[in-house]
């Protein structure tokens, strides 16, 4: 958006709408209307997707405090897209079970509309479970990671 001097972008297709505005400090502000079920036609391979530069770093992963289990927090998907555990097939995963994370730790990438979005943990703790397979489509609000919060 900065390279093109865009301040706002809106896309709508078959019941899905996403609107991106560049806010203060150049940070994107994203609003979307999720689809409950959507097929993903012709998703690029992980290698192709990794070669696409990320122009939108999404620092907001929805974190569900408490949830079903006391002491655990679930990092949820902030968008519909394809989940990747590493920046490219040749690179190691951002995190593994047992990894310590902090609020700014990148835990995965979600590819949406050919844009690679880095998702941050937004919590300090230890990863106890990875709930999504690499390359799997994810829905808005879907649980991605289970983290044991530091007290």
Look up the domain containing 91 and give its range.
40-149
Which of these, 70, 66, 128, lies nearest to 96 by C-alpha position? 128
Token pair, residue 78, equals: 């902030």
Please check whether residue 125 lies inside any domain of the structure: yes
Please check whether residue 1 lies inside any domain of the structure: no
CB atoms within 10 A of CB 150: 12
Per the CB < 8 A criterion, the answer to whether 140 and 32 are in contact is yes
Please check whether residue 11 lies inside any domain of the structure: no
Please check whether residue 2 lies inside any domain of the structure: no
CA–CA gap between residue 52 and residue 130 (Å, rounded): 25
Per the CB < 8 A criterion, the answer to whether 131 and 146 are in contact is yes
Please check whether residue 74 lies inside any domain of the structure: yes
Cα 129 off chain centre by: 16
Segment (H or E) for 81: strand 81-84
Please check whether residue 33 lies inside any domain of the structure: no
CATH number at residue 102: 2.40.50.100
Using only C-alpha atoms, the chain has a radius of gyration, in whole angstroms, of: 15
Per the CB < 8 A criterion, the answer to whether 36 and 110 are in contact is no
Please check whether residue 92 lies inside any domain of the structure: yes
Claim: this prediction has a pTM higher than 0.75: no
Residue 69: per-residue pLDDT? 73
pLDDT in tens, the chain (151 residues): 667 777 777 777 777 777 777 765 555 555 544 444 444 444 455 555 555 444 444 444 444 444 457 889 999 999 999 999 999 889 999 999 999 999 899 999 999 998 999 999 999 999 999 999 999 999 999 999 999 988 6
Q: CA separation (Å) from 110 to 37, 69, 102?
A: 17, 26, 19
Domains in the chain, number: 1
Please check whether residue 121 lies inside any domain of the structure: yes
Which of these, 32, 41, 124, lies nearest to 78 by C-alpha position? 32
């Amino acid at each position: 958006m900065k390279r093109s001097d865009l301040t706002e972008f809106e896309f709508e297709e078959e019941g899905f709408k996403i609107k991106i505005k560049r806010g203060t400090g150049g940070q994107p502000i994203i609003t979307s209307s999720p689809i409950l079920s959507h097929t993903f036609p012709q998703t690029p391979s992980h290698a192709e997707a990794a070669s696409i530069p990320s122009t939108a770093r999404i620092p907001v992963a929805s974190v569900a405090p408490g949830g079903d289990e006391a002491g655990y927090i679930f990092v949820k998907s902030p968008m519909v897209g394809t989940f990747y555990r590493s920046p490219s097939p040749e690179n190691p995963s951002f995190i593994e079970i047992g990894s310590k994370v902090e609020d700014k730790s990148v835990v995965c990438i979600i590819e949406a509309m050919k844009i690679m979005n880095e998702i941050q943990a937004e919590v300090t703790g230890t990863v106890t479970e990875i709930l999504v397979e690499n390359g799997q489509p994810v829905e808005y609000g879907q649980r991605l990671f289970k983290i044991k919060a530091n007290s």
